[in-house]
């Protein structure tokens, strides 16, 4: 059964599905870079391909053009995301609702498994990577991208400083901020699950917004909020949010606006 945190993430992306593509400039760039990585790793057309966390089908649509003879499958936790993907793909892929940590597929049924901007929402990547290893055929390739440690560091730093000023606890993992995985954690998880030819690298992306409300609205609209009042926080959180906005603008604002940084981890391995 999907854990409560995964259910919360699923509900967030369910609500944000209709407007998702309008607010994801980084995710769109990550897809293009992942396609470049895939071109280097897998020049041969696979027979069966799985996209985990396929979202609105952006990656799958481009893979359909690259691999016209491949049977494509997309999996996502949010039904509304799958609905958007269905409209985009027009029958070019089999779309399945399911959890990345409990893949609803038989052993050894895909030559290629991909994923873009999904695994950062997993508390631990090991169980999912083990599932990917299970559904890959011998020699099959796993190629993915996720947001890693350092992502949205401006927002997390400002939020924690605002909590301290308000006399509230600012302990990582308990302060409402998201815990992004490190490059070493991803590499170790791949190796522990039995992958070979493991390659992991990072690349930084920055998006600029006119002001903090625009940045926060964009994050909210894609269902990916990373700073929220801890459970049982009580009164006063609106003041903390206003304080966070002031800190963010003071520390990171420029004439260009305010930045949001993303540390993208690209990984691959073979079964």
Assigned domain for 39 exists? yes
Assigned domain for 134 exists? yes
Q: Which of 114, 119, 231 is nearest to 174 (CA)?
A: 231
Provide the token pair at 263: 């540390």
Question: Which pLDDT value is given to residue 12?
Answer: 47
Q: Which of 201, 216, 198 is nearest to 260 (CA)?
A: 216
Assigned domain for 189 exists? yes
CA 114 vs. chain centroid, Å, equals: 12
Assigned domain for 159 exists? no
Assigned domain for 10 exists? yes
| Rounded Cα distance, 240 and 158, in Å | 10
What is the span of the domain harbouring residue 186?
4-151+178-206+261-270
Q: What is the CATH number of the domain that holds 102?
A: 3.40.50.150
Q: Are 169 and 177 in contact (CB under 8 A)?
A: no
Assigned domain for 158 exists? no
Assigned domain for 137 exists? yes
The total of structural domains in the chain comes to: 1
User: What global pTM score does this model have?
Assistant: 0.85
| Rounded Cα distance, 22 and 203, in Å | 23
Assigned domain for 84 exists? yes
Question: Mean pLDDT per segment of 10 residues, for the chain of length 271 residues?
Answer: 50 46 73 92 87 95 95 95 94 96 97 95 94 97 96 92 82 69 97 97 94 84 51 63 92 94 96 96
Cα–Cα distance list, 263 to 6, 8, 75, 216 (Å)? 22, 23, 24, 18
């Amino acid at each position: 059964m999907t854990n409560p945190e995964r259910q919360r993430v699923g509900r967030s992306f369910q609500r944000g599905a209709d407007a998702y593509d309008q607010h994801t400039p980084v995710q769109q760039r990550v897809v293009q870079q992942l396609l470049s990585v895939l071109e280097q790793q897998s020049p041969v057309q696979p027979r069966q391909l799985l996209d985990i966390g396929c979202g609105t089908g952006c990656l799958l649509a481009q893979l359909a053009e690259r691999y016209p003879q491949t049977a494509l499958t997309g999996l996502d936790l949010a039904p509304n995301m799958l609905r958007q993907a269905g409209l985009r793909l027009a029958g070019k892929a089999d779309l399945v609702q399911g959890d990345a940590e409990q893949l609803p597929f038989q052993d050894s049924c895909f030559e290629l498994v991909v994923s873009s901007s999904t695994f950062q929402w997993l508390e631990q990547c090991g169980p999912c990577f083990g599932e990917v290893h299970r559904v890959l055929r011998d020699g099959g390739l796993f190629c993915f991208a996720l947001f890693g440690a350092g992502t949205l560091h401006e927002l997390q730093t400002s939020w924690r400083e605002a909590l301290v000023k308000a006399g509230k606890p600012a302990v990582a993992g308990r302060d409402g901020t998201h815990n992004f995985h490190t490059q070493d954690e991803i590499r170790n998880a791949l190796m522990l699950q039995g992958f070979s030819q493991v390659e992991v690298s990072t690349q930084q992306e920055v998006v600029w917004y006119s002001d903090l409300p625009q940045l926060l609205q964009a994050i909210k609209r894609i269902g990916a909020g990373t700073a929220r009042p801890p459970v049982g926080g009580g009164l006063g959180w609106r003041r903390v949010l206003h304080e966070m906005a002031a800190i963010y603008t003071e520390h990171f604002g420029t004439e260009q606006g305010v930045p949001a940084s993303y540390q993208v981890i690209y990984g691959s391995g073979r079964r």
